Amino acid sequence: MRVAASCGKNLREWAREILLNAANEQQSSDGMALFAEVQALRLLLINTLEPLLRGEKMTPEQFKEMLRYVKTNKRKAAADMLASYAEGTSEQP
């Protein structure tokens, strides 16, 4: 009750706000994880299909390295994509 009062709210208002914020953070975290996985698929497709379409072959070692690259960079790719949406800039090919 003291924490709620120190925020200028009654206990119900304070508890509701805390619970809603926690729920929104959880949804945001889940949504970001899902978006990062979508970006991982995009990275994998772009980086593997382009050389294959040029007639190049990919060794199993190269593919494993590509998977490591995707795993390492998917969160950054997702953050960059969200930032470009927020700025209203168009995506580069």
The whole-number mean pLDDT for each consecutive block of 10 residues of the chain, a chain of 93 residues, reads: 87 80 72 90 94 93 96 93 78 50
Whether 26 is covered by a domain: the verdict is yes
Structural domain that includes position 43: 2-87
Cβ-count burial of 26 within 10 angstroms (0-12 exposed, 13-18 middle, 19+ buried)? exposed
Has residue 93 been placed in a domain? no
**Number of domains making up the chain:** 1
Instruction: Fill in the amino acid letter for 8.
Output: G
pLDDT of residue 86: 78
Instruction: Answer yes or no: is 56 within a domain.
Output: yes
Q: Would 64 be classed as within a structural domain?
A: yes
H/E segment holding residue 5:
helix 2-6
* Alpha carbons 78 and 36: distance in angstroms, whole number: 5
Question: Is there a domain that residue 92 lies in?
Answer: no
Check residue 93 and give its pLDDT.
45
What does the block give as tokens for 82? 């969200």
